[in-house]
Amino acid sequence: MSSRTLPLLFLNLGGEMLYILDQRLRAQSIPGEKARKDEWTDVDRKRVMNDIIATMFNKKFMEELFKPQDLYSKKALRTVYDRLAHASIMRLNQASMDKLYDLMTMAFKYQVLLCPRPRDILLVTFNHLDAIKDFISESPGILNQVDETFRRLIETYNCLSDGEFQLIRQTLLIFFQDMHIRVSIFLKDKVQNSNGRFVLPISGPVPWGTEVPGLIRIFNHKGVEVKRAEFTAGNYVTPQREGSFELYGDRVLKLGTNMYSVTRPVETHMSGSSKNLASQAKENISPNPLAKEELNFLARLLGGLDIQKPAGGETGFRLNLFTTDEEEEHAAQTRPEELSYKVINIEATQEPGRRAELSRILGELVVAEPRPGSAEKGEDLLALMDGL
């Protein structure tokens, strides 16, 4: 397993999250003058995007992220995104957050699976970052943060060998193993089958550096080619050009670009019964002895991140990932037990001692007003955010 996988996982999933949130916010936005107090406007949307991106690319957060380490568990990672999605005035119900996470993970799983070369995962990441820079093009401060991370990625990853990238890819694929949630936009575009598996095309351009399959060349003991033979396999063609791994450039690869548009609402379908659920169910039900360890880490990473309460002091602007409130309610009730993330549900563990400890940590995470005696880290982060 590669210990350099987490930054790529985090940034790409984050990128997908931003695509989806941007689409939903646009779909639900009302022109400024006509909006009521509890309705979304363009200004609100930009603010939410800015807040989330600023939090995501926070310098100290990035420093921690880039340290060589093992991947988090699915639960732990989901909690990170939960915090991230709530880094602004936006609120998401459990059902919407579940749907958001499902979409994010299936999208990135698809991108990893279809990467032509292992190192093209970097191009996918760059595609996400290019789009993120577009979202905050009007905020030079945040743009700087993103560029910093971009440079860090180039520094860390451009020199890795194919073998190391393949290891990273394998680490990611193991993380996504047995996830088969059906996504309507994928089903419609025929990139996903009705059983939840992705379509792997056997035509199109081969990866850069690979030859089109079909040719056998035989050499004699002097190294001279003496025979040629052909065979058929698939319907491949030579690629046009290689994508750019620089700070700016044409990535060529389309994986990782924004596939959502305002007019295409995206649904996910849970399959109630699936042969592979046994392993998932086991993962969710047995208490994870490392959960506490990971939460400590998360608590450190997110430090004393201040969750800004909306002006009205009520629950805040709620974003619905579904088309109607009724749909959201229905989704929450009908989500198959095995597929629930049981994220904040730390009570899943039975030991009273552990429960107390975890609740204490959770308490530290949910921040209200300036905390007495909070670590300097928290204050640094606040200062950083204030400075933006």
Residues that bind other proteins (CB under 8 A): 1-4, 68-70, 113, 116, 118, 161-164, 166-167, 173, 177-178, 180, 193, 197-200, 202, 206-207, 209-221, 223, 227, 229, 231-234, 236, 275-276
Residue closer to other proteins (CB basis): 70 or 337: 70
Between 213 and 287, whose beta carbon lies closer to other proteins?
A: 213
Place of tokens 């750019």: 244
CA pair distance 84, 315, nearest whole angstrom: 17
Distance CA 184, CA 265 (A): 9
State the nearest-atom distance from the C-beta of 162 to other proteins, in Å.
5
State which residue, 229 or 368, has the beta carbon closest to other proteins.
Answer: 229
- Find the shortest distance in angstroms from Cβ 181 to other proteins: 13
Q: Quote the least distance from Cβ 73 to other proteins, whole Å.
A: 16
**How many whole angstroms separate alpha carbon 67 and alpha carbon 119?**
20
- CB nearer other proteins, residue 14 or residue 116: 116
**CB nearer other proteins, residue 34 or residue 222:** 222
Query: In the complex, what is the shortest distance from the CB of residue 313 to other proteins, in angstroms, rounded to a whole number?
Result: 44
Residue placing its CB nearer to other proteins in the complex, 226 or 368: 226
Q: CA gyration radius for the chain? A: 23
**Backbone dihedral angles phi then psi of residue 182, each to the nearest 5 degrees:** -85, 130
User: With left for phi above 0 and alpha for psi between -120 and 50, is residue 342 left, alpha or beta?
Assistant: left
Whether residue 96 contacts residue 85, with contact meaning beta carbons closer than 8 Å, is answered with no
Q: Which is nearer to other proteins, 180 or 251 (CB)?
A: 180
CA distances from 355 to 92, 253, 341, 363, 379 (A): 25, 47, 18, 12, 28
- Burial per residue of 23-55, b for 16 or more beta-carbon CB atoms within 10 angstroms, e otherwise: bbbebbbeeeeeeeeeebbeebbbbbbbbbbbb
3-state secondary structure of 91: strand
Residue 215 DSSP SS3: strand
CB of 206 to other proteins, least distance (A): 5
Residue type, 175: F
Site of tokens 């849970």: 270
- To other proteins, the closest distance from the beta carbon of 344 in angstroms equals 28
Cβ–Cβ < 8 Å for 87, 52: yes
Which lies closer to other proteins via its Cβ, residue 207 or residue 265? 207
Residue 2 or 55 having the CB closest to other proteins: 2
Decide whether 68 or 272 has the Cβ nearer to other proteins: 68
Report which secondary-structure segment, H or E, holds 168: helix 162-175
- With tokens 């880039």, the residue in question is 66
Q: How far is the CB of 180 from other proteins (least distance, A)?
A: 8
Q: Give me the DSSP letters along 170-199.
A: HHHHHHTTT---EEHHHHHTTSB-TTSPBP
Which contiguous run of DSSP H or E holds residue 269?
strand 268-269
* Largest pairwise CA distance in the chain: 83
Minimum CB separation from other proteins for residue 55, in Å? 25
Taking the complex as a whole, the smallest distance from the CB of residue 111 to other proteins amounts, in Å, to 14
Q: How far is the CB of 219 from other proteins (least distance, A)?
A: 5
